[in-house]
Amino acid sequence: MKTILIIDDEKSIRDAVKMILNYEKYEVELAEDGPKGFAILDNPENRIDAVLLDVKMPGMDGIEVLQTIKSRHTDLPIIMISGHGTIETAVEATKLGAFDFLTKPLDRDKLLVTLRNALDHKILTAEIETIRQKLEGKDNILGESQKLKEILSLIERIAPTDTRVLITGENGTGKELVAKAIHRFSKRSAKTMVEVNCAAIPHDLIESELFGHEKGSFTGATAQRIGKFEQADGGTIFLDEIGDMSLAAQAKVLRVLEEGKIERVGGNRLISVDVRVIVATNKNLIEEIKKGNFREDLYHRLNVIPIHVPPLRERRDDIPVLTKSFVDDICTRYGITPKKFSERALNYLKGLEYSGNIRELRNIVERLIILTPGNTVEVEMLEPTGLTKGTATDDIIATSKTYQEFKDRSEAAFIKRMLEIHNWNISKTAEAMDIERSNLYTKMKKYGMERKE
């Protein structure tokens, strides 16, 4: 069932249009002005499929509200309505992204046809975007490290099957990209992949979100709702952060895996669903089982093909490739003149610890691209930001893949420490290290270290 938001300051108009839409089996939300409409749209529990928006309203007028909504919900179709319609207003609204423009008094048939066209257009736009992403390779997993190549090889082997996959790894490592890649190369790729972040949904709502509910099944259930498993029928469902799912919901997911059927909250019939299940978590599920937070039988049902996504500090060779991709995307998105990172700056980036993994790297790159006045990000731009390189010996041992990498990172840590001890006085540092000044300068350049004044 589609939900339509009506934003109009006239109660009689809101009530009349709601009556028409309810009769046509639409769910309706009402708002008397822009701010109340924003509150409904920004509530993650609401799923609005289209907006009917009045042009003339006190406070923020419809054009201002249109601009704000489009800045937050770019794909949401908005139909403008006005009792004082002019060609100029209609043209302005269309340029700002409105789907269509209707004049009051509203013609019932024209309203319903326009609304149906807007909803069909939204579906078509989503399908085109899915095709475009496949053609352009958006959401591709980038990198050249051996660990990443092993993951890509595994994805290639398992994607054509319907086997269940458990993806593990720290926050920000790219678990969602792995799930998308599996779906993209599967036999179900023509169908949708429905994503659910289990950690973002309150425990008392997770069952309704996953399996849907019948009208009147609980307080606030004013209409029937189709759950995520039904939405994913024929395709893939991706349950992210499944370690945060309630035990009650886990029991129902187990039933779906065993029987291929779901039951809506408050319902009394089983509904067959054909869904491939991919899950991800940043938790150690074995430990969660011991604590009584996760069902062992569900774990074994899910853990058919385990994929562990390593943290970025264990795949430092991928940092230059990721950085270039982020730079290109950020410059294009913000209309910034193309920029690049110097070799020394890239070396510096490769030495950071990245507790936030790829997400942290992207944030760093975006900040530097925006703040750097020239076309090249130099190492001097990184050092004042407070970004620090890890120097713990245990960490260097644990994350170095080759003896040469271990030697280089250990040497870099030692040189940096000596420079700090001697307040970055090159002569005193070189003397203390018993090496030539020129040799010290060479090593500092190699590791992206800059002499401090």
* pTM of the entire predicted model: 0.59
Structure confidence at residue 392 as a pLDDT band (50, 70, 90): very low
Domains assigned to the chain = 3-131 (3.40.50.2300), 146-310 (3.40.50.300), 313-385 (1.10.8.60), 393-446 (1.10.10)
Q: Among 114-128, 311-325, 398-412, 423-437, whose mean pLDDT is lowest?
A: 398-412
Burial tier of 445 (Cβ tally within 10 Å: 0-12, 13-18, 19+): middle
Structure confidence at residue 421 as a pLDDT band (50, 70, 90): confident
Structure confidence at residue 385 as a pLDDT band (50, 70, 90): low
* Percent of the chain topping pLDDT 90: 47
Name the nearest CA neighbour of 77 among 49, 116, 39, 104: 49
Q: What is the pLDDT of residue 284?
A: 94
Burial tier of 371 (Cβ tally within 10 Å: 0-12, 13-18, 19+): exposed
Structure confidence at residue 110 as a pLDDT band (50, 70, 90): very high
* R_g of the chain, CA atoms, integer Å: 28
Model pLDDT for residues 153-162, shown as the tens digit of each residue: 999 999 999 9
Model pLDDT for residues 128-148, shown as the tens digit of each residue: 666 555 544 456 788 888 889
* pLDDT at residue 163 tops 90: yes
Model pLDDT for residues 257-311, shown as the tens digit of each residue: 999 999 888 888 899 999 999 999 999 999 999 999 999 999 999 999 999 999 9
Q: Which has more confidence, 422 or 389?
A: 422
Separation CA 234–CA 319 (nearest Å): 37
Name the nearest CA neighbour of 295 among 333, 242, 236: 242
Separation CA 58–CA 227 (nearest Å): 38
Q: What is the pLDDT of residue 143?
A: 85
Separation CA 74–CA 37 (nearest Å): 15
* pLDDT at residue 53 tops 60: yes
* pLDDT at residue 391 tops 50: no
Do β-strands 376-377 and 340-341 pair in parallel, antiparallel, or remain unpaired?
parallel
Q: What angle is formed at CA 217 by the lines to CA 232 and CA 278, rounded to 5 degrees?
A: 25
Q: What is the pLDDT of residue 235?
A: 92
> Which tokens sit at 60?
């923020």
* Percent of the chain topping pLDDT 70: 92
- The DSSP output letter for 251 is H
Burial tier of 386 (Cβ tally within 10 Å: 0-12, 13-18, 19+): exposed
Q: Among 192-196, 357-361, 423-427, whose mean pLDDT is lowest?
A: 423-427
Q: Which has more confidence, 411 or 27?
A: 27
Residues 6 or more apart from 172 whose CB is under 8 A from it?
Answer: 312, 356, 357, 358, 359, 360
Element (H, E) at 39: helix 34-42
User: Which of 15-29, 79-93, 192-206 is modeled with the greatest confidence?
Assistant: 15-29
Average pLDDT over residues 337-344: 91
Element (H, E) at 87: helix 87-95
User: Can you list the alpha helix ranges (DSSP code H) found in 137-235?
Assistant: 146-158, 175-184, 203-211, 228-231
Is-contact 378 345, C-beta < 8 A?
A: yes
